[in-house]
């Protein structure tokens, strides 16, 4: 097993390099299971703890905000090298703090989706009152129709069975109200289709219930999921001094505990981390990448969708 790590974060390679060191120190991964990808100056900083065969040099990096286009498939950025390695089965998983939209574009065009027309989804583990649950889509695609939301639920269900060992994960849809008539036309149709498809679908969940409800899979369009999570992050960061409960919430939702988010629905295991990644975040993302690769989450999703 080889886990590839993109060193080129928004704040430069130092936080990711420290994250790799932390993962090694914790025993999450062995040095021979790692390949780090970066510019020559970044790789030089890893020479004292990683052998040359664990270093892969890139020619360029993709800046934040860069929009993906097909001509980008031929460049030799850290992102391209990571996804090419996933495609060629050189890497079992690829962890990157790179531009999310660019990662999704490469995942679709280089790896391909497990089913024609399927929209991949960023599956982000979040805490609730019992334990972690999974929210998808957390920002891969802004919009989602009813079929997309049903596919998200199916992928989330498989993930929870594999990662959380849950036999029958509870599924809900993030919406502006609990009633079946709430939301857009697509969401109202999705409510009906989710009800018909899953006996574990338990209706809508409002944003105020996101972290306190008994639920394992929460589905929604990417723009809604991303806004909900960034709002929660902002509130916790702004008002974190209010007391022990807020501090506990901050601990539970922090990237360093949650780790990276797997992009589900593609032929491989890309793990998306925050662009402003910290060492603990990166170490947790490596842990999540290794776990997802070992449990073959992507392969299980591919098998189910190909036989459906």
160-186 residues labelled b (16+ CB within 10 A) or e (exposed): bbbbeebeebbbbbbbeeeeeeebbeb
Query: In this predicted structure, what is the pLDDT of residue 272?
Result: 94
What's the whole-number mean pLDDT along residues 188-198?
Answer: 97
Query: In this predicted structure, what is the pLDDT of residue 242?
Result: 44
Query: In this predicted structure, what is the pLDDT of residue 67?
Result: 78
Rounded CA-CA distance 104/194 in Å is 25
Q: How confident is the model at residue 224 (pLDDT cuts 50, 70, 90)?
A: very high
Domain boundaries, the chain: 1-118+265-308, 122-254
3-class DSSP assignment, residue 174: strand
Query: In this predicted structure, what is the pLDDT of residue 240?
Result: 52
Burial class of residue 52 in the structure, from the number of CB atoms within 10 Å of its CB (0-12 exposed, 13-18 middle, 19+ buried):
exposed
* Cβ-contact 122, 222 below 8 angstroms: yes
Q: How confident is the model at residue 119 (pLDDT cuts 50, 70, 90)?
A: very high
Query: In this predicted structure, what is the pLDDT of residue 190?
Result: 97
Query: In this predicted structure, what is the pLDDT of residue 129?
Result: 73
Strand locations in the chain, DSSP E?
3-6, 34-38, 55-57, 93-96, 121-127, 132-136, 171-174, 201-205, 217-219, 261-264, 270-272
pLDDT in tens, 158-190: 999 999 999 999 999 999 999 999 999 999 999
From the list 99, 50, 53, the residue with the least C-alpha distance to 270 is 99
* Cβ-contact 149, 187 below 8 angstroms: yes
- Read off the pTM: 0.90
Task: Report whether pLDDT(62) > 80.
Answer: yes
Tokens describing residue 243: 């007391």
pLDDT in tens, 132-162: 789 999 999 999 999 999 999 999 999 999 9
Q: What is the CATH number of domain 122-254?
A: 3.40.718.10
Q: How confident is the model at residue 39 (pLDDT cuts 50, 70, 90)?
A: very high
**Residue range 1-118+265-308 in CATH 2.20.28:** no
Query: In this predicted structure, what is the pLDDT of residue 308?
Result: 66
DSSP state of 73: G
Q: How confident is the model at residue 241 (pLDDT cuts 50, 70, 90)?
A: very low
Rounded CA-CA distance 308/305 in Å is 5
Question: How many CB atoms sit inside 10 A of residue 128's CB?
Answer: 18
């Amino acid at each position: 097993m080889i886990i590839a790590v993109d060193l080129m974060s928004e704040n430069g390679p130092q936080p990711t390099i420290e994250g790799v060191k932390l993962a090694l120190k914790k025993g999450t991964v062995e040095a021979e299971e790692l390949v780090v990808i970066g510019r020559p100056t970044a790789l030089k900083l890893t020479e004292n703890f990683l052998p040359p065969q664990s270093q892969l040099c890139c020619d360029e990096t993709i800046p934040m905000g860069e929009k993906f286009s097909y001509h980008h498939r031929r460049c030799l950025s850290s992102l391209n090298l990571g996804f090419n390695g996933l495609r060629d089965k050189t890497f079992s998983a690829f962890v990157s703090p790179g531009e999310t939209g660019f990662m999704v574009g490469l995942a679709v065009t280089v790896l391909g989706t497990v089913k024609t027309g399927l929209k991949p989804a960023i599956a982000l583990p979040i805490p609730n009152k019992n334990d972690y649950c999974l929210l998808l889509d957390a920002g891969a695609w802004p919009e989602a129709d009813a079929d997309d939301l049903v596919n998200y639920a199916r992928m989330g269900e498989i993930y929870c069975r594999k990662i959380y060992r849950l036999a029958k994960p509870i599924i809900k849809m993030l919406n502006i109200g609990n009633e079946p008539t709430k939301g857009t036309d697509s969401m109202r149709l999705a409510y009906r289709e989710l009800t018909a498809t899953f006996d574990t679908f338990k209706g809508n969940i409002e944003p105020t219930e996101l972290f306190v409800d008994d639920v394992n899979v929460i589905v929604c369009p990417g723009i809604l999921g991303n806004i909900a999570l960034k709002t929660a992050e902002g509130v916790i960061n702004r008002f974190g001094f209010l007391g022990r409960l807020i501090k506990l919430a901050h601990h539970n939702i922090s990237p360093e505990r949650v780790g990276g988010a797997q992009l589900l629905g593609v032929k491989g295991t890309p793990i998306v981390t925050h662009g402003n990644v910290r060492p603990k975040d990166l170490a947790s993302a490596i842990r999540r990448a290794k776990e997802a690769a070992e449990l073959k989450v992507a392969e299980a999703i591919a098998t189910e969708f190909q036989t459906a």
